[in-house]
């Protein structure tokens, strides 16, 4: 078996996350007007995970040939990705905390609009 670099492993992880997101968001139930809390939290968590994997890839990259302006811009984007992932994780916690347990989260119930949940975090 060949050894993969850390960046290649992160790329594989990102592809896997995107595949699962595609199935969750693009499956037959995706056209229903309301998601269960579990589905909503899963989508939020996977999106946050993808942002963190992207941040990890950036942190592993070699910046040798980049200009100072490029490095500054990339750093701002990196910080933005990490902040977005953090807020998303908090939003998923809000969605899940409105439920009693896994069974109730999977069976329907509370749907918190993303904009409303985000306002509640600030």
Backbone angles phi, psi at 70, to 5 degrees: -65, -40
Q: Does a structural domain hold residue 60? A: yes
Integer CA distances (angstroms), 86 to 2, 27, 33, 72, 91, in order: 34, 27, 27, 21, 9
Higher pLDDT among residues 89 and 29, named by residue: 89
Of the candidates 54, 43, 23, which has an alpha carbon nearest to the alpha carbon of residue 105?
Answer: 43
Instruction: Write the pLDDT tens digit of every residue in 94-112.
Output: 999 888 888 888 887 555 5
Within a domain: residue 111?
yes
* Residue 54 located in a structural domain: yes
Question: If you search the block for the tokens 């040939």, which residue do you land on?
Answer: 65
Task: Assign 16 a pLDDT band (cuts: 50, 70, 90).
Answer: very high
Rounded mean pLDDT of the chain? 82
CA 35, 21, 48, 78 dihedral sign is: negative
pLDDT score for 121: 46
Residue 73 lies in a domain: yes
**Residue 1 located in a structural domain:** no
Q: Is residue 13 part of a domain?
A: yes
**Mean pLDDT along residues 17-30:** 77
Residue 23 scores a pLDDT above 90: no
pLDDT digits (tens, 9 = 90+) for 37-71: 888 899 999 999 999 999 999 898 888 888 999 99
Within a domain: 101 = yes
Q: Which pLDDT score is estimated for 2?
A: 41
**78 phi and psi angles, rounded to 5 deg:** -60, -50
How much is the CA Rg of the chain, to the nearest whole Å?
Answer: 17
Cut 0.85: pTM above it = no
In a domain? residue 87: yes
Q: Which domain holds residue 110?
A: 6-120
Number of domains in the chain: 1
| Short-list 58, 59, 57, CA closest to 9 | 57
């Amino acid at each position: 078996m060949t050894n993969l670099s850390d960046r290649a492993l992160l790329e594989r992880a990102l592809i896997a996350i995107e595949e699962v997101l595609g199935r969750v968001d693009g499956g037959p139930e995706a056209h229903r007007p309301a998601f269960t809390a579990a589905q909503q939290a899963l989508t939020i968590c996977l999106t946050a995970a993808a942002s963190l994997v992207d941040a990890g890839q950036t942190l592993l990259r070699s910046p040798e040939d980049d200009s100072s302006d490029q490095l500054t811009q990339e750093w701002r984007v990196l910080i933005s990705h990490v902040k977005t992932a953090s807020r998303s994780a908090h939003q998923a916690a809000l969605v899940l905390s409105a439920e009693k347990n896994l069974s109730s989260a999977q069976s329907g119930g509370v749907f918190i609009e993303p904009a409303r949940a985000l306002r509640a975090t600030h």
